[in-house]
């Protein structure tokens, strides 16, 4: 339980002052730490000591503004999950702990012209079973397409573009992916053979854990203008995909953490927690990690792109209609475990920064050039997945989010470990509970069903209400699941 200072500095904003010295008494924060939360969330936020990690991040060399944590904050590796930190592009550091092991874990939303009335329970069940058959899922799942080493290098450097070039999707898809589905700085030569070996059989697979593939209905519209721009209406059928870079990204992170442990000593960097291992952004180690991390991000974009292709195929197979005829266009794709080189305003001056978002989503408003032209009047779509069986949200980015370097929350946030969840619940019971709510779930593992019980997470609606109230992202629509594929 965290018992340090937490001062209310505004609505939905609590600050750990720069004067705080940490539980060891020797912490020297360079900037304050701010946690975005509602009053009734504070007890659960303090419970796993994650605010201490937010304070620890504030000690990083070159950090600017504030160390920040979204309302879905919980304990992570080095950085809290839900953590955001920006470091100076000349004098700052980059930290794998600020990105996470599942590089570019992210969410993609596909709209359709179908309505709830077009699909009865039998059709939902058929679609979910077809999706389960076509999209490999589960621990250690292997993709339908086996790549050789040269092809994998292309995936690592070209991202979603490689998938589209190979026929996995439509040319227009790339316009609606963050970074257009590719970080051009990627260099496959900086990714280890072990990471490539882990990744070559996993491109186009869902994986396990909190990853999912859901058929959803749009249950509520909050912002008609933005919803119209995004092509979303009440009672519409949409598909949400939540997955990342699989074993490839995990291995990239593991490899560079070992490199950075040595870099900390080499560059004489003092840290309150060894899990914050970092290197100067201008060092060889820092530059190499950023290029390798970009490869992991590209892998994830290609992964989600191939899954979209098989989602479209599955709908075609079951409903006997063409995907284009059904209007199966991508609304957007966001990532929530990544570091980006972006321009932001610091103390009234535009600066280039390395923005770490770990369990946090980009939330750019209408003024940013990165927002697709089609959405330029309303801002970037923001996708917030719920936990299994609860609602998910479509929001829009705001110019006010510049306060957090264009960042918002990423999901519900765990309140219980996976082991605790498995001890408390039975996977079959969870499936029956979902069925009673009209949700058909097809899982690769009953164990994962137990781990991902809705009660193991915070209330996603409270998380979203907080970011909405704080102005970091604004509600557009709420979606409820009809069918779920779990790894």
**pLDDT tens-digit readout, 109-137:** 999 999 999 999 999 999 999 999 999 87
Say if 308 falls within a structural domain: yes
Which of 239-243, 254-258, 341-345, 446-450 has the weakest average pLDDT? Answer: 446-450
* Three-state DSSP state, 103: coil
Residues of the chain with pLDDT > 70, as a percent, come to: 97
Question: Can you give the pLDDT at residue 141?
Answer: 67
Say if 269 falls within a structural domain: no
Range of the domain at 115: 106-245+296-332+365-486
pLDDT, the chain, mean: 94
List pLDDT tens digits, range 411-462.
876 666 767 777 777 778 888 888 888 999 888 777 777 777 777 677 899 9
Say if 39 falls within a structural domain: no
Say if 399 falls within a structural domain: yes
Residues of the chain with pLDDT > 90, as a percent, come to: 82
Mean pLDDT of 346-371: 97
Q: Which residues of 119-153 are buried (b: 16+ CB within 10 A; e: fewer)?
A: beeebbbbbbbbbbebbbbbeebebebebeeeebb
Greater model confidence, 44 or 356: 356
Per DSSP, 364 falls in state: B
Which of 92-96, 301-305, 456-460, 468-472 has the weakest average pLDDT? Answer: 456-460
Q: Which of 74, 309, 410, 468 is catalytic?
A: 410
Greater model confidence, 73 or 428: 73
Say if 273 falls within a structural domain: no
Question: Can you give the pLDDT at residue 448?
Answer: 74
Measured distance CA(166)–CA(203) in Å, rounded:
13
Q: Could you give the number of structural domains in the chain? A: 1
Q: Are 335 and 104 in contact (CB under 8 A)?
A: yes
Checking if the pLDDT of 25 tops 70, the result is no
Checking if the pLDDT of 139 tops 70, the result is no
Q: What is the CATH number of the domain that holds 146?
A: 3.90.1860.10
Per DSSP, 235 falls in state: T
Say if 262 falls within a structural domain: no
Look up 329 and say whether it is catalytic. no
Say if 223 falls within a structural domain: yes
| Type and span of the H or E element at 134 | helix 121-134
Say if 252 falls within a structural domain: no
Which of 1-15, 349-363, 436-450 has the weakest average pLDDT? Answer: 436-450
Mean pLDDT of 260-275: 96
Checking if the pLDDT of 138 tops 70, the result is no
């Amino acid at each position: 339980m965290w018992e340090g200072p937490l001062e209310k500095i505004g609505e939905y904003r609590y600050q750990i002052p720069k004067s705080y010295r940490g539980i060891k008494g020797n912490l020297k924060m360079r900037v304050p730490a701010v946690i975005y939360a509602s009053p009734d969330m504070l007890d659960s936020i303090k419970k796993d000591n994650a605010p201490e990690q937010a304070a620890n991040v504030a000690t990083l060399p070159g950090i600017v503004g504030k160390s920040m944590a979204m309302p879905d904050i919980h304990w992570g590796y080095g950085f809290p999950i839900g953590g955001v930190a920006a470091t100076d592009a000349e004098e700052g550091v980059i930290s794998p702990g600020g990105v996470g092991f599942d590089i570019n874990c992210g969410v993609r939303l596909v709209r359709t012209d179908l309505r709830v009335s077009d699909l009865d329970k039998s059709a939902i069940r058929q679609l979910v079973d077809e999706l389960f058959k076509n999209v490999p899922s589960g621990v250690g799942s292997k993709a339908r397409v086996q790549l050789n080493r040269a092809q994998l290098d292309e995936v690592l450097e070209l991202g979603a573009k490689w998938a589209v070039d190979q026929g996995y999707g439509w040319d227009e898809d790339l316009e609606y992916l963050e970074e257009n589905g590719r970080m051009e700085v990627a260099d496959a030569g900086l990714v280890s053979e072990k990471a490539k070996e882990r990744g070559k059989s996993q491109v186009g697979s869902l994986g396990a854990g909190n990853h999912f593939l859901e058929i959803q209905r749009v249950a509520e519209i909050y912002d008609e203008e933005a919803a119209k721009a995004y092509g979303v209406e009440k009672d519409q059928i949409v598909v949400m995909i939540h997955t990342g870079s699989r074993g490839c990204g995990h291995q990239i992170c593991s490899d560079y953490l070992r490199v950075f442990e040595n870099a900390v000593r080499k560059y004489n960097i003092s840290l309150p927690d060894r899990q914050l291992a970092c290197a100067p952004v201008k060092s060889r180690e820092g530059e190499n990690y950023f290029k390798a991390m970009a490869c992991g991000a590209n892998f994830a974009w290609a992964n989600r792109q191939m899954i979209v292709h098989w989602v479209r195929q599955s709908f075609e197979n079951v409903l006997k209609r063409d995907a284009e005829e059904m209007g199966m266009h991508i609304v957007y794709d966001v990532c929530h475990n990544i570091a980006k080189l972006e321009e932001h305003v610091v103390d009234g001056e535009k600066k280039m920064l390395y923005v770490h978002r770990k369990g946090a989503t980009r939330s750019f408003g209408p003024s940013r050039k990165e927002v697709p032209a089609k959405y330029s009047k309303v801002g970037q779509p923001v996708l917030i997945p719920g936990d299994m069986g609860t609602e998910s949200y479509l929001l829009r980015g705001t110019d006010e989010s510049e306060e957090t370097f264009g960042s918002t929350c990423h999901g519900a946030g765990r309140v219980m470990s996976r082991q605790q969840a498995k001890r408390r619940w039975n996977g079959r019971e969870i499936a029956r509970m979902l069925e009673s709510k009209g949700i058909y779930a097809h899982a690769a593992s009953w164990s994962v069903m137990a781990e991902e019980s809705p009660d193991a997470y915070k209330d996603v609606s409270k998380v979203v209400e907080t970011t909405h109230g704080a102005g970091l992202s604004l509600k557009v629509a709420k979606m409820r699941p009809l069918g779920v594929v779990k790894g």
